[in-house]
């Protein structure tokens, strides 16, 4: 039983070690001049097949690959699932491929450099925010190079920290602890000593649990009241747990007897904010209570905030005098009647108004439309007794009214057309030259004999 437990423990440790050191991300960033590695993440169910070849490649060109071997460069070391750089340089940036049988995994490596006078790369930082007086813990751990390093040191702002034998920082944070903390792992390889860095950007902030209290609402509030009635003034604040909210209602002669201050109530919302409120109740309001400033304040270690409430007498509603209302109604009726009359006149005399507008504005849009006539009159031209009335209407009445009275120009076939031409072509041409077509419609006009 104990042997089984020991075997399970060893398997768990091996799987944990593999999961910690393998490189699962596609985009990888490395620092120039430091050792670096890529490790294929094999699952726990995968077993290494001795007959399957493992190869590493680097991308060259759009679709090309170059196989990597330890003999190509003394900086490159291959160990089955691991590709090591001693150290990595800028020209090592690019795509890398791990191939085992038919399985292929790809990484995108980007090598960056450090600033000239800096011990760390600014693009390779681990941000850490700590509240003041809370625990600041920095532990120099590395999943791959920690076991290979023979010495580990901790630096702050690129200066080695004194009295720090262990690469661990554990203390209550102060504002002066803010800065860049760099863990340096000194790793020997082939007679050379390499540095692997891991840098934390530590920011120390104030206690987030405490806020500066603030009262809600305008600084001065005018409250309209009625004499003899009661009123409640609510003073609410966004505050801390132990902040005091109180009313300042004392006069020179002492506190007013009809003014009562109730106990403070605190409510915490779902997002963690604390609201405190205190009500001042004034009963049977009298003249002494008017125009007096009732001040409410909230006080804490971070500061004090104050707002004021002033009671003013509510003015009685002033009724509109009867004669003003009557005059207003008469004026409204007269305006409505005038508007209706103007609309009716406009409808009845719309033609006259249009002609007057043309004459007054000296503007006639018919002068530029290329038309000769205002309207072509179509009527039955045979002068039989049965259609004499419509002939008279078309030839005599329409010209007398539209031409002589309103100034329109009509085209009447038997008056304005010179005989001898083709009738159909002439009619079509005259209609094209006219802006409108007037048809004197009758039963004879629609008969089969003359419909053409």
**Nearest-CA neighbor of 40 among 131, 114, 104?**
104
88, 112, 136 - which closes a domain = 112
- Return per-residue pLDDT of the chain as tens, 452 residues: 444 444 443 343 344 444 446 878 889 999 999 999 999 987 655 555 667 889 999 998 777 899 998 888 899 999 889 999 999 999 999 999 999 988 899 999 999 999 888 999 998 999 999 988 889 999 899 989 999 999 999 999 999 987 666 788 889 999 899 999 999 999 999 999 999 999 999 998 877 667 788 899 999 999 999 898 999 999 999 888 888 999 987 655 456 788 888 888 988 887 778 899 999 999 999 988 888 889 999 998 777 899 999 999 887 545 567 788 888 899 999 999 999 999 999 998 887 787 777 777 766 666 677 788 889 988 877 655 566 788 888 888 888 888 888 788 899 877 887 776 677 778 888 888 898 899 888 777 776 555 55
Domain count, the chain: 5
73, 89, 112 - which closes a domain = 112
In a domain, 154, yes or no: yes
Same domain, 305 and 219: yes
Same domain, 141 and 106: no
The CATH number of residue 133's host domain is 2.60.40.10
112, 140, 158 - which closes a domain = 112
Same domain, 32 and 108: yes
> How is the beta sheet containing 36-39 ordered, strand by strand?
36-39, 82-85, 76-79
In a domain, 85, yes or no: yes
In a domain, 451, yes or no: no
Same domain, 307 and 323: no
> Range of 187's domain?
125-205
Assess contact for 280 and 259: CB atoms under 8 A: yes
Same domain, 353 and 378: no
In a domain, 346, yes or no: yes
Same domain, 343 and 396: no
Q: What is the reported pTM?
A: 0.47
Cα–Cα distance list, 172 to 136, 194, 301, 344, 352 (Å)? 6, 33, 22, 91, 96
Token readout for 280 is: 């001042």
């Amino acid at each position: 039983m104990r042997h089984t437990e020991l075997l399970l423990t060893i398997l768990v440790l091996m799987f944990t070690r593999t999961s910690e050191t393998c490189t699962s991300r596609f985009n990888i960033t490395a620092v120039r001049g430091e050792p670096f590695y890529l490790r294929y993440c094999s699952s726990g169910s995968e077993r290494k097949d001795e007959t399957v070849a493992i190869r590493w490649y680097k991308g060259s060109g759009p679709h090309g690959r170059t196989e990597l071997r330890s003999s190509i460069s003394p900086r490159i070391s291959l160990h089955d699932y691991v590709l090591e750089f001693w150290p990595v340089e800028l020209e090592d940036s690019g795509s890398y491929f791990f191939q085992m049988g038919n399985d292929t995994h790809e990484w995108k490596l980007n090598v960056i450099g450090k600033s000239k006078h800096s011990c760390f790369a600014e693009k390779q930082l681990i941000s850490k925010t700590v509240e003041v007086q809370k625990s600041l813990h920095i532990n120099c751990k590395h999943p791959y190079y920690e076991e290979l390093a023979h010495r580990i040191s901790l630096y702050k702002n690129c200066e080695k920290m004194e009295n720090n034998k262990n690469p661990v920082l554990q203390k209550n944070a102060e504002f002066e602890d803010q800065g860049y903390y760099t863990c340096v792992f000194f790793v020997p390889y082939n007679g050379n000593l390499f540095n692997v860095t891991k840098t934390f950007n530590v920011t120390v902030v104030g206690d987030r649990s405490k806020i500066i209290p603030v009262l809600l609402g305008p600084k001065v509030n005018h409250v309209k009241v009625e004499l003899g009635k009661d009123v409640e003034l609510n003073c609410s604040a966004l505050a801390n747990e132990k902040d005091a909210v109180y009313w300042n209602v004392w006069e020179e002669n002492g506190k007013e007897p009809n003014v009562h201050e109730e106990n403070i109530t605190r409510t915490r919302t779902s997002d963690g904010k604390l609201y405190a409120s205190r009500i001042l109740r004034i009963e049977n309001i009298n003249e002494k209570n008017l125009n007096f400033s009732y001040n409410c304040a909230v006080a804490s270690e971070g500061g004090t905030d104050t707002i004021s409430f002033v009671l003013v007498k509510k003015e009685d509603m002033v009724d509109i005098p009867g004669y003003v209302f009557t005059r207003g109604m008469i004026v409204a009726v007269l305006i409505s009647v005038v508007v209706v009359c103007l609309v009716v006149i406009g409808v009845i005399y719309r033609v006259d108004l249009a002609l007057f507008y043309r004459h007054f504005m000296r503007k006639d849009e018919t002068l530029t439309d290329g038309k000769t006539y205002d309207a072509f009159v179509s009527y039955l031209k045979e002068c039989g007794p049965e259609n004499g009335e419509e002939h008279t209407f078309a030839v005599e009445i329409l010209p007398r009214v539209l031409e002589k009275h309103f100034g329109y120009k009509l085209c009447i076939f038997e008056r304005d057309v010179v005989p001898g031409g083709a009738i159909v072509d002439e009619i079509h041409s005259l209609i094209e030259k006219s802006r409108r077509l007037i048809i004197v419609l009758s039963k004879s006009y629609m008969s089969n004999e003359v419909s053409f």
